[in-house]
Each structure stands twice: as C-alpha cells, then as structure tokens.
Amino acid sequence: MPAKHPAISLGLLFSRGRSASAWSCQTPEGEDLKRRRYSHYLLVVAGLGGLLYGVDLGIIGGALPYLEATSGLTAEQLSAVVAAVLLGSVFSTLFAGFLSDWFGRRSMMIASGATFSLSIPVIALSHGFAFLVAGRILQGISGGIIGVVVPLYLAECLAASIRGRGTALFQWFLTLGIVIAALAGIYYSLRLGVAEHNASALTIFLLKDQAWRRIFWTSLPGGVLFVIGGCFVTESPRWLYHKGHLERARAALLRSRSAEQAELELGEMELVLSPTARLRPVGQCVAESLLRRKYVVPFLLSCAILFCNTATGVNSITAYDTSLLVQSGLSDIGAHWGYVIYTCIKFLMTIGGVMLVDRKGRKFLLVTGTGGMLLSLIVITGLFLHTERTRLDCSRSLQAAVAPDQTLHFRFDPSRAAKLLQQSGNAGRGIAADHASLSIVYSYGDFTAATPVVRSDAGAAAIWIQRSKRVPSNAVEAFFENPFANLRQARVAPLKIQRAVLAPLPKPIFGWIVELSLYVFIGFYAFGPGVCVWLALSELMPTRIRSNGMSIALVINQLVSTTMAGIFLPVVSRHGDSTIFLIFTAFTAAYFLIAMFMLPETKGKTLEEIEQSFDKPIRACKSAGH
C-alpha cells in the first residue's frame, strides 16, 4: 500500500504518538514476548478446535461395537445414530458463514465448543435412542461450525508471517483427534479382551456398556478447554472493523502485532473493507457488485481447489486401502499392518508440511504435493492395468448361485475356485485354483457394495451377502451414501452380482510395490494438499464473502466426497481398479496444473494484499459528468 494514503499516514502518526505515551512503560523486548505468547496461545486454541473436529469424525468407530452390544437398538436405529452426525454437520456448514458474520467468529467458536461439550453428557448418559441421536446431531453441528469458523478466524487474526503454520496446525490436530479417538477404542478393546477370559457374562455386558460411554467421556476435556480458551482470545479484528468497531479492531491487532504493523493493516482494511469507500479518489467508478473479478476469481479458484482435493480419491483410497493391498498379493495381516503404516505416514508428513508452509510457501507445498501424488497414481494405474489382463469375470456363475431370498452364501476354496475357472473359461489364463483371489461387487437397486477380497490359499473363506448389511435403514443414511438413490426400490430389488473378479494372486513383491506407491501418495497428500487446503480456502476468499464463501465451498466439497464414494464401486465393478485410478489421476493432474499456473503465492501477505491482487485497476467512468 502506498504510504501517502491518508488512513495509513494518520495511523502511523497515531502509533508514534501512542507508543511515546501509553506504551512507554513497556520495553520493546517485553512487548514482543507478549505478542509471541499470545500468537502461540491462539494456535493452541485453534488446535483444540481441530482436535474436536477430528474426534467428531473418528469417535463413533471405537464406540459402535459396544453400543451395538449393550444398547438394545435395532440395526436401523444404530444406522441413524451413525448418520445423525452427518445431518448436523451439513446443516451447520450451510449456515456457519452467515452466523459467524452475524454473531462474530469468536462467539461462534465458543458456541461450537459448548455444543460439543453438551453433546457428550447427552450421549454418555443416555438410555434411549432419542438422546443418542440428539447428541450425535449436536456433535455434527459442532463439527460443521468448527470446520468453517476456526480456519476463518485464524486467517483473520494471525500475522501473515505465521498464518500458514497456524492454519496448518488445525489440520494436524484434526488428524491427531482421529488418532486419539482410535486409541481410546483400542484401549477399551484390550481391556475387554482380558476380561472376557475370566469374567461372567453380566460383568462383560457391564464393561461393554461402560466402554462406549467412557470413550465419549474422554473427549469432553477437549471441548471444555476449547470453550475456556475461546473466552480469552480477542474477536477477529477484520470482523470488528467491518462492524465499525475501529478501536476494538486496533486493540485486537495490537495483541499480536507491533503498533506500526497494526496501523498499517488498519489502513489496508480501510481500502478494502470500507463499505462506503469514502477514501477512494474522486472521479473513479466503484461497482461493489459481487460479480467483480476480485470476488469471482478467488471464489472459483477456492472451489476448484476443494473440488480437486477430494476428487483425487484420497477418501476412497483410504477407505479401501486394506482391500487394495490384499488384491495386490499381501496377506490379510500384512494388509492391515500396511494400513497402520499408511495412517502413520499421513500423520508424520502433516508435521513436515506444518513446519515448511510459512518457509517455502503454499504454492510450493501444493505443487510438490500434487506432483508426487500424480506420479504415484500413474504407477498404481499401470500396475493394475498389468494385473487386470489376466483376470476373469465369473459374475454369471455366482448370479446363478443367488438364493431365492436374494442372499448369497459362498465358501471360496480350491475346489470352488477350480469350478469357477472351468465355468468361466480359463483358457490360457494361468490362474491356479489353489492360488487365486475373489472379490464380488454387488448391488441392491442403487446401492452398491463390495465384499472383502478372499483367497483360496487361506482356508475356506466364506462370503455372505445380505440385503440388511447393504441397504441403508433410513433416509438420512441413504442420502449421504447416494443422494440420487431410490431407497424404497432398493428394499425390494433383487440381488445383482455386478462383477465377480477371479484373479491370480500376484507375488508379494507386487503388493509391496503397490503399498509403497500408496505410501508415496498419502505422504505427498499430507505434506501438500492436506496442509494447504484449509489455508487456501481461508486466504483466497475475499473479506466480503469469506465466511459465506467458505460455507459454500465446504458444502461443494462434501457433495464431491459423496459422489466419489458413490461412483467408486460401480466403476470398479464395470471397468476395474485401473479405471478408477485413471480418473483419480486425471483430477490430480488438473489439481497440479491449477496449483502450478493459477494459484498465487500468498506467503507473507496480509489478507487485504491477497484480495487486492485479484482486482484489476479501477478504471474511471467514461460517462458524461465524470
């Protein structure tokens, strides 16, 4: 910004005068130490928000087996309990931007923490279906608000020099929250494993009942600390300025900036945020339409980044990682250990991204991350193309084995494998009956699923397909699985075997190559897009539309995630794993090109400087009288 601008010049004079009086009693070193401490405090509070978001996502996984064993709920009711958090999340995400503009970022952070804290006793003390669903909806509402407001608050509060690291820490704590939720489940699983050897049935029942309640109770301290921490942070200075609270905005800035830095940013806010634009030069025509380039371009760029971030297939690859490794020739134990390493690599590489985001910049991390993901996906696609040439589709044989009640019970052993090979015409394929694998993709109406991969060399592995295990029990769960599906028709539709892949088991070395490629994929994702996606979203959105724009972009992200989950198995069933990975490769290539050629570097820039970089020079009106 030019120093001669009236707001900045007055601000600098103000800061000099004030620093000579009100702050004369403080040494520069002491003031700098206070500012650093407050900035670190902000990071801790925001990190607790990410922790709660991660717990929201992961806590039900550890608690559900014990809830199912002791609650007396039907399968339909349990499904509703699981899906309720999604309903609350989508609802709150839609309105989080509007509410944060109305009540303020800090107020909504405190409200989200209070909502999460309230949800825990509602769930943990419940003895019926209604309170469980209500508590899970509250958790979803909390998570949706946190996902929008915390990155928004960090972007508007942190100094440009640490904004990247601060927002990236939100993602790191999010992954930590998922890990903590998983560890809580493992802890009680181990305790119950010991008790089941020498305890009575009643004791085991009581322990299971306590287990799922205590798993939820363990997450309560995080929510309480988030609420308490939020009470001691300032409101976003940009929100305060936008609401006309100039002095409060200045005070908020001075907690983490020097006096001159604070006044400089206030001057930039005056240029960008002022609704009356009273300081704009006379004779220039200012159209504050939302269709201006400074609003449209960054909004579309943010949406494109979130779209591509999910369309890389990271969620589907994570969900089907174990199955992919078994198909690739690893044993069941090896595949599960491979998944553990997969999650650990994601967690550790996120730390690397957090450390470098303010040193190397967002563009560097995104280009490096998407480039590494692209190379790994090309390798994986090529590997599956190589193996799929020798696969057989035996869906007709298995369709004939479907029982009249539209179920399928099939035990896969060498004799059954030999029979399937004979029926499917194994001429020249070289598939050995005692060294083969089988996976089935099936559907009831619009709902498609896949069985775990079974191997003929691992004993008589049973496949059991039932409608109750696949068709959602309620409309909420059905919507999030496939928003375009007809649930009523699926409840009476016949079982259809879409594809039954009979394949030779690759050598273990092939599985290790696939596994290493998946490690490269998730490592580069965690290092680049995993760290930068929240940051890019909050930094690129212009101030005037930042909160509502983030809500819209995150809803788009959820819709893409649902769509990718919905098309994964149908594409695999018809065209094989190589085709779905080719789709992921195409979107990752688009992501790489966007990061390379369209994304501006925002490291070290204030939000106002980023916003102004998208705006073309204002041209004087050519109409008469101007």
Give one DSSP letter per residue of 171-213, joined into a string: HHHHHHHHHHHHHHHHHHHHHHHHHTTTS-HHHHHHHHHHHHH
Buried b (16+ CB within 10 A) or exposed e, 443-468: bbbbbbbbbebbbbbeeebebebebe
Q: 184 near 215, Cβ under 8 Å?
A: yes
User: What is the DSSP track for 509-560?
Assistant: HHHHHHHHHHHHHHHHHHHTHHHHHHHHHHHHS-GGGHHHHHHHHHHHHHHH
Fold of domain 6-20+28-278:
Growth Hormone; Chain: A; (1.20.1250)
Residue 520 has a pLDDT of: 95
Lowest mean pLDDT among 72-76, 122-126, 155-159, 387-391: 72-76
Asked if pLDDT for residue 570 goes beyond 80, the answer is: no
- Nearest Cα residue to 51 out of 206, 208, 224: 224
Q: How confident is the model at residue 27 (pLDDT cuts 50, 70, 90)?
A: low
Ranges of CATH 1.20.1250.20 domains, the chain:
6-20+28-278, 317-389+511-613
Q: Are the CB atoms for 367 and 529 separated by under 8 Å?
A: no
**Residue 10: is its pLDDT beyond 60?**
no
Encode pLDDT of 310-352 as tens digits. 899 888 888 777 777 777 777 767 776 777 788 788 888 988 8
Amino acid 23: pLDDT: 39
- Dihedral of CA 508/380/565/406: which sign? negative
Of the two residues 618 and 51, the one the predictor is more confident about is: 51
- Residue 467 gets which letter from DSSP? G
Distance CA 262, CA 241 (A): 12
| Fold designation for 317-389+511-613 | Growth Hormone; Chain: A; (1.20.1250)
User: 369, 387, 497: which is closest to 439 by C-alpha?
Assistant: 497
What is the structure's pLDDT at 116? 93
Q: Of residues 575 and 467, which shows the higher confidence score?
A: 467
What's the DSSP call for residue 374? H
What is the reported pLDDT for 49?
Answer: 87
Distance CA 394, CA 52 (A): 46
Q: Which helix (H) or strand (E) holds 476?
A: helix 475-481
Q: Work out the pLDDT band at 600, boundaries 50, 70, 90.
A: confident
The closest alpha carbon to 291, from 594, 99, 539, 545, belongs to: 545
Cα separation, 41 vs 113, in Å, equals 17
d(CA 133, CA 540): 36
pLDDT at 426: 62
* pLDDT interval class at 620 (50, 70, 90): very low
Q: Does the structure show a pLDDT above 50 at 285?
A: no
Burial label for 615, CB within 10 Å (0-12, 13-18, 19+), is: middle
CA angle 409, 410, 413 (to 5 degrees): 155
Sign of the torsion angle spanned by Cα atoms 225, 227, 231, 233: positive
Residues 388-421: pLDDT tens digits? 777 788 888 899 999 999 999 888 888 888 888 8
Q: Rounded CA gap, 389 and 387, in Å?
A: 5
What's the mean pLDDT in 361-379?
94
Percent of the chain with pLDDT over 90: 21
The confidence score (pLDDT) of residue 522 equals 93
- The residue-averaged pLDDT of 376-389 equals 88
pLDDT band at 573 (very low <50, low <70, confident <90, very high): low
pLDDT band at 290 (very low <50, low <70, confident <90, very high): low
Eight-class DSSP state of 313: -
| 260 has pLDDT over 70 | yes
How confident is the model at residue 584, as a pLDDT?
95
- What type of residue is 225? L
Q: What is the mean pLDDT of residues 475-487?
A: 79
Phi-psi region of 57 (alpha: psi -120 to 50; beta: other; left: phi over 0): alpha
Nearest to 266 by CA among 288, 245, 235: 245
Q: What is the DSSP letter of 412?
A: E
Q: What are the pLDDT digits (tens) for 507-534?
A: 778 878 888 999 999 999 999 998 888 7
CB 419 within 8 A of CB 394: no
Q: Is the pLDDT of residue 590 over 90?
A: yes
What is the pLDDT, as a whole number, of residue 368? 95
Tokens 């690397």 correspond to 352
C-alpha 229/C-alpha 42 separation (Å) is 9
- Look over the chain and give the mean of its residue pLDDT values, rounded to a whole number: 80
Reply yes or no on whether the pLDDT at 305 is more than 50.
yes
Residue 461's pLDDT band, with cuts at 50, 70 and 90, is low
Phi-psi region of 67 (alpha: psi -120 to 50; beta: other; left: phi over 0): alpha
What's 459's DSSP letter? B
Mean pLDDT of 454-474: 79
- pLDDT at 468 (0 to 100): 83
CA-closest candidate to residue 169, choices 41, 272, 59: 41
Tens of pLDDT along 96-105? 888 998 999 9
Distance CA 387, CA 61 (A): 34
Phi, psi angles (nearest 5°) of residue 406: 60, 45
pLDDT at 616: 57
For helices 362-388 and 529-540, angle between their N-to-C axes, nearest 10 degrees: 130
What distance separates the 2 farthest-apart alpha carbons in the chain? 94
Q: Which amino acid is at 533?
A: V
Task: Point out the least confidently predicted range of 411-415, 544-548, 572-576, 582-586.
Answer: 572-576
pLDDT of residue 603: 83
- Tens digit of each residue's pLDDT (9 = 90 or more) over 37-79: 888 888 888 888 888 888 877 787 778 778 878 888 776 677 7
pTM exceeding 0.85: no
Query: Tell me, what DSSP letter sits at residue 277?
Result: -
